[in-house]
A = this chain, B = another copy of it.
Amino acid sequence: MDQPIRKNFASDNVVSVSPAIMDAMMRANTGAVPSYGNDALSHALDAVFSDLFETDVAVFPVTTGTAANALALSAIVPPYGAVVCDTNAHIANEEGGAPEFYTHGAKLLGLPSADGRMDAQTLSTRLRRAQGHGPESSPICALSLTQATEWGTVYDPSQIAALSSIARADGLAVHMDGARFANAVATLGCAPSDVTWRAGIDVLSFGATKNGAMAAEAVVFFKPDLARDFARRIKRGGHLWSKHRFLAAQLQAYVTDDLWLANARVANRATRRLASGLEAIAGVHLPFSCDANEIFAMLPPDVLGRLRAADYVFYPWDAPDGLEGEMVRLVTSFDMADADIDAFLAVARG
User: Interface residues, chain A, CB within 8 Å of chain B?
Assistant: 4, 6, 8, 10-11, 13-17, 22, 25-26, 29-36, 62-68, 70-71, 78-80, 82, 93-98, 100-108, 129, 134-139, 209-210, 214-215, 229, 231-243, 246-247, 318, 333, 335
Contact = CB atoms under 8 A, between A and B. Distances in A.
Nearest to A246: B214
B31 A22 contact: no
A298 to B, nearest CB: 18
A96 B80 contact: yes
B63 A239 contact: yes
Q: Is the interface of A mostly helix, strand, loop or mixed?
A: loop
Given A104-B105, A229-B78, A242-B64, A137 B94 contact: yes
Given A14-B32, A63-B63, A64-B240, A107 B97 contact: yes
State how many copies of this chain the complex holds: 4
A79 to B, nearest CB: 6
B241 A134 contact: no
B13 A243 contact: yes
A70 to B, nearest CB: 6
A94 B35 CA distance: 14
Given A80-B229, A241-B63, A242-B210, A95 B134 contact: no
The 4 closest A-B pairs by CB, nearest first: A67-B238, A13-B242, A100-B105, A96-B235
